[in-house]
């Protein structure tokens, strides 16, 4: 399946990755190569095959509802880019 620049821009937007003009062309070309590879899947007849999301044929284990995590804010925020009054700061969020 061919991929257009515009599609790559849309993907970059979904993935929140800035792409400048030159990167965009290069990325479009290399994505086309990868898509040619994965397009080989289209030749296989998979009618009636149950998709396999996971190698384990196991079921989810459940955890008891007990508080095990104490307040670690100081430790966890020591590595944060911007913090004030215990909050993580980001450029203004507009709803």
Residues 11-30 that bind another protein (CB under 8 A): 11-19, 27, 30
Residue ranges in 22-81 that form contacts with another protein under rule CB under 8 A? 27, 30-31, 33-42, 44, 46, 49-56, 58-69, 71-73, 75-81
CB–CB of 77/86 below 8 Å?
A: yes
Min dist. Cβ of residue 25 to another protein (A): 13
CB–CB of 86/72 below 8 Å?
A: no
Q: What letter does residue 80 receive in the DSSP assignment?
A: -
CB–CB of 82/88 below 8 Å?
A: yes
Binder of another protein out of 4, 7, 21, 22 (CB under 8 A): 7
């Amino acid at each position: 399946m061919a991929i257009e620049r515009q599609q790559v821009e849309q993907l970059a937007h979904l993935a929140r990755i800035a792409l400048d003009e030159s990167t965009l062309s290069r990325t479009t070309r290399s994505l086309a190569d990868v898509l040619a590879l994965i397009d080989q899947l289209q030749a296989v007849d998979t009618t009636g095959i149950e998709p396999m999301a996971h190698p384990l044929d196991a079921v989810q284990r459940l955890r008891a509802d007990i508080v095990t995590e104490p307040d670690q804010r100081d430790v966890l925020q020591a590595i944060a880019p911007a913090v004030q009054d215990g909050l993580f700061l980001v450029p203004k969020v507009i709803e």
